[in-house]
Amino acid sequence: MAVRNVPEESREVTLRRWCVMEITTSQGARSHHVHGHDVTHNFARTSSAIGEFDAHNMTVTTRSGRLYKLVGLPGNYPAGKTAWNTWCSSNKIATHTDVTDQYLDIDKQSTLGFDRLTRAAMREGNS
What mean pLDDT do residues 34-51 have? 92
Cβ neighbours of residue 127 closer than 8 Å, sequence gap 6 or more:
none
Residue 80 reports pLDDT greater than 90: no
Per 3-state DSSP, the chain is made up of helix, strand and coil in percentages (nearest 5) of: 25, 35, 35
Confidence of residue 79 (pLDDT cuts 50, 70, 90): confident
Q: Which amino acid does the sequence have at 27? A: Q
Residue 2 reports pLDDT greater than 60: no
Q: Which of 10-14, 95-99, 108-112 has the highest mean pLDDT?
A: 95-99
Q: What is the pTM of this model?
A: 0.79
Question: Of all residues in the chain, what percent carry a pLDDT higher than 70?
Answer: 75
The Cα-based distances of 120 to 45, 84, 95 in angstroms read: 19, 25, 32
Question: Of all residues in the chain, what percent carry a pLDDT higher than 90?
Answer: 48
pLDDT reported for residue 21? 96
